[in-house]
Amino acid sequence: MDSVDLSVLKTLREWQAADLPLWLVTVVETFGSSPRPPGSMIALRGDGLAVGSVSGGCIEDDLGLRAQRGQLAGDRCGLLNYGATDEEARRFKLPCGGVIRLVVEPVHNTDWVEQVLHLVRAHRLVRRTLHLDTLRVGLEDAGPGEKISFDGAMLTTVHGPRWRMLIIGAGQTSAYLARMAQALDYQVIVCDPRAEMRATWDVPDTTLTGEMPDDAVIALQADSATVIIALTHDPKLDDMALLEALKSPAFYVGALGSMANNAKRRGRLKMFDLTPEEIERLHGPVGLDIGSRTPPEIAVSILAHLISIRNRAAEAAVLPNNQSQPIKQEMCS
């Protein structure tokens, strides 16, 4: 799976071969209630096709009609507001009082798109700067906690995995969790020292390691934008990871198993150098209690719990320092 914005960028790249006008539409400001946050994007084509979401409804339809009718500029960026009046709010089915402001950007070549996709595949966090008057695009490494910004002349967006997830165990539940987590902007690392489990791992764009779980946690240098989840069903492997994970700043540490098994696990953890407060951080059983039984249901329950916690913790999230060579590029859109 791709995160929503990556799907939009991949679509722009693929559509360039169709020889039709292309636009990238980005939500830059919202006022009052709005269905999609700033940074949400759609790819728009001259025949009205659109991929992505800026409202989840009629705004996409209206943008498609504007594209078909030639009502969008092809040589400069434009600004559109939706929901500024009661009539518009009713017409576009926006929540009461909601206003959405969009930047409509013509895309004449997709060189920068290809470069962003390449960097994101390498687990880089990328800052993209668009100068509205010239369509010039600049790419640089993004810093910790950076977000979209817009000052009327320049639009800055951030692309790439803002969060990391270390999964202990390469089983079926882990595979479902990894695929779904990638759609939520997680960089996924999977650790399993069992060669027979690693041999069947088939989730693209994940990092698979065979080191011992405690070593994997230490090497990860977990921070407040990190999730660590133990899913092997083997107490020896899961507990090794948890002993290090619970001492780390990771914002979520969870372990699969029943209430009884996790009670036994907490008893075992008390025998090591963990404080009661550190043991209390363990989410076990992992995920929300939604009656999940199958691997995909368990993955959904875990991610639902992460979303609820992550949205509250997002302001305080700190990403690892980028150790790669700095990005600094400029090109025209």
User: Using one digit for the tens of pLDDT, what is the confidence trace for 16-35?
Assistant: 888 899 999 999 998 766 66
For residue 278, give every residue at least 6 positions away whose Cβ sits within 8 Å of its Cβ, in sequence order, or none: 246, 247
- What is the SS3 assignment for 7? helix
pLDDT of residue 31: 77
Q: How many Å apart are CA 255 and CA 232, to the nearest integer?
A: 9
Whether residue 99 contacts residue 32, with contact meaning beta carbons closer than 8 Å, is answered with yes
Looking at residue 145, its pLDDT comes to 74
Q: Say if residues 312 and 251 touch (Cβ distance below 8 Å).
A: no
- Residue 162: what pLDDT? 74
Q: How many CB atoms lie within 10 A of CB 189?
A: 21
Are 285 and 263 in contact by the 8 Å Cβ rule? The answer is no
Q: Residues 6 or more apart from 259 whose CB is under 8 A from it?
A: 285
Q: What is the pLDDT of residue 297?
A: 97
CB half-sphere exposure, 43, CA atoms < 13 A: 21
Residue 80's nearest CA partner among 103, 99, 61 is: 103
Q: What is the pLDDT of residue 320?
A: 43
Per-residue pLDDT, 333: 60
Segments in the chain below pLDDT 70: 1-3, 32-35, 56, 84-97, 144, 313-333
- Compute, in degrees rounded to 10, the torsion defined by CA atoms 273, 284, 242, 173: 170
CATH code: domain 163-316 is 3.40.50.720
Does residue 211 contact residue 193 with C-beta atoms inside 8 Å?
yes
User: Which residues of the chain are in CATH 3.40.50.720 domains?
Assistant: 163-316
pLDDT digits (tens, 9 = 90+) for 158-211: 988 778 999 999 999 999 999 999 988 898 999 999 999 999 999 998 999 999
